[in-house]
Amino acid sequence: MELKIRPGAPEDVAAVERVRVTTWRAAYRGLMPDGYLGALGVDPDRVVRMERGLTNALAEGRTPLVVAETEGEITGFVNFGHCRDEEIGGGEVFSLYVLPEAQSAGLGRALLADAVTRLRAAGHEEIGLWVATGNGQARRFYERFGFVPSGRTGTHPLPEPYPPIEDTHYRLAPTAPGDAPLLP
């Protein structure tokens, strides 16, 4: 099986959105209302906005999206950048999704390691992320990587009439001198 981790390009965005929707339907079953998950789909307007945003970021020399390809098909991605909350600061992993059938093969870890390496290279010592509090599988994944709960909580709003989802913030401390590199 051929696996490739590479920077994302604007032409990847529709495939990235398909991965996000498919993964949300599996990962958030029981955490988000079935009606909401069942109605999820790839929104063409969202794809256009994301393509524009990625094009602008690449033109500015930033690489905010990395994708995993398996046999030429995008099977996962990670999206990251400067933290959206200035009070927290540092870098942030905005989203990390791997198709259910491609999970437990090291793709998520490889994508996360790539994002952390890029964020650190961009000068971010601390790196954070938000995860649905009830998503035990994702929380264990991040904890095995070295992320720890920061003590912050928040909510992820869903459209009416659905209630928001509780989120927990995690942080990855700065790398200490002599720590092993994240990528092989």
pLDDT over 90 at 172, yes or no: yes
Answer yes or no: is 161 within a domain.
no
Answer yes or no: is 167 within a domain.
no
Number of helices (H), then strands (E), in the chain: 5, 7
Contact predicate 27/135, CB 8 Å:
yes
172: β partners: 127
C-alpha triplet 14, 72, 117: angle, nearest 5°? 80
Answer yes or no: is 53 within a domain.
yes
**What confidence tens digit (pLDDT) does each residue in 52-64 have?**
999 998 889 888 9
What is the SS3 assignment for 43? coil
Rounded Cα–Cα distance for residues 13 and 46 (Å)? 9
Domain, as residue range, for 79? 3-128
pLDDT over 60 at 184, yes or no: no
Residues 138-155 have a mean pLDDT of 95
What's the confidence (pLDDT) of residue 176? Answer: 47
Answer yes or no: is 175 within a domain.
no
Answer yes or no: is 159 within a domain.
no
If one compares 179 and 164, the residue with the highest pLDDT of the two is 164
What's the confidence (pLDDT) of residue 63? Answer: 86
What's the confidence (pLDDT) of residue 173? Answer: 77
Rounded Cα–Cα distance for residues 126 and 120 (Å)? 8
**What confidence tens digit (pLDDT) does each residue in 11-53 have?**
999 999 999 999 999 999 999 999 999 999 999 999 999 999 9
Answer yes or no: is 50 within a domain.
yes
**DSSP string over 102-134:** GTTSSHHHHHHHHHHHHHHHTT-SSEEEEEETT
Domain harbouring 84, CATH code: 3.40.630.30
Answer yes or no: is 142 within a domain.
no
What's the confidence (pLDDT) of residue 175? Answer: 66
Rounded Cα–Cα distance for residues 89 and 68 (Å)? 27
* Nearest alpha carbon to residue 37 among 150, 175, 162: 162
If one compares 148 and 182, the residue with the highest pLDDT of the two is 148
**Residue corresponding to tokens 């927290």:** 88
pLDDT over 90 at 86, yes or no: no
Q: How many domains does the chain have?
A: 1
Answer yes or no: is 157 within a domain.
no
pLDDT over 60 at 179, yes or no: no
Confidence band (pLDDT; 50, 70, 90) for 160? confident
